[in-house]
Structure 1
Amino acid sequence: MQKNVTPGRRKGCPNYPPEFKQQLVAASCEPGISISKLALENGINANLLFKWRQQWREGKLLLPSSESP
């Protein structure tokens, strides 16, 4: 997955594009997927992916498909 990271407000905190977040959250919802492994393969911390999943469940991160939480 392609990610175009822009510098965040704090040093060392990159801002990932919404499309990248959406792709990873959607992929993490597939049966049998290890969230930790998926995060590692994409160069992010697993806790960050868990945070994005939580944001998705709360309606703060929308997925491009018709998938619902």
Structure 2
Amino acid sequence: MRLCVELLAAPAAKRRWSEEAKGRMVAETLAPGVTVNEVARRHGLKANHLSSWRTLARKGKLVVPEVAGAEFAAPVATAQAVDTPVATATIDLLIGPVTVRLDAATPAARVAELAMALQART
């Protein structure tokens, strides 16, 4: 009588890729005619991981070595003057039918003086 035993392999340990290795693999996908699936298969990882790394590279969060004929370049930060609207806060004193609008930088003592003066007039 023969006994047949089936051996099941334990799942592989979760691999950790260095940032440099991720960048190199992403760079491979940027060559013309190369697909994410073939690069992922060659390195033994899932294509969705490699696609996520490509997204990080596009956002400038993963350094990718330069590749001749690459489909996209990593973003480069440059200083630019940006016109941002300045929000001005105001203080509105509403006493009876009178409304006085003051700049938010008006000292508290002055606001109190105006409020008391307006209240005395009504």
TM-score (norm 2): 0.43
Q: How many aligned residue pairs are there?
A: 58
1:1-69 maps to which residues of 2 (within 5 A)? Answer: 13-65=14-66, 68-69=73-74
Identity rate of aligned residues, in percent?
Answer: 31
For structure 2, list consecutive stretches of 5 or more residues without a partner in the other structure: 1-12, 75-122
Q: In the aligned structure 2, how far is the partner of 1:65 from the partner of 1:29?
A: 10
Q: In the aligned structure 1, how far is the partner of 2:14 from the partner of 2:58?
A: 23
**Which has the higher relative contact order, 1 or 2, with Cα contacts under 8 A spaced 6 or more apart?**
1
Q: What is the DSSP-based 3-state SS (H/G/I as helix, E as strand, rest coil) of the residue aligned with 1:15? A: coil
Instruction: Return the structure number with greater strand share.
Output: 2
For structure 1, list consecutive stretches of 5 or more residues without a partner in the other structure: 1-11
Q: In the aligned structure 2, how far is the partner of 1:40 from the partner of 1:48?
A: 11
Instruction: Return the structure number with greater helix share.
Output: 1
Q: CA RMSD in A?
A: 1.9
The one-character-per-residue Cα deviations of 1:27-63 (angstroms, maximum 9, x if unpaired) are 1000000110110110110000000000000111012
Deviation (angstroms), 1:13: 4.2
Runs of 4+ more than 3 Å apart: 64-67
Q: In the aligned structure 1, how far is the partner of 2:64 from the partner of 2:41?
A: 21
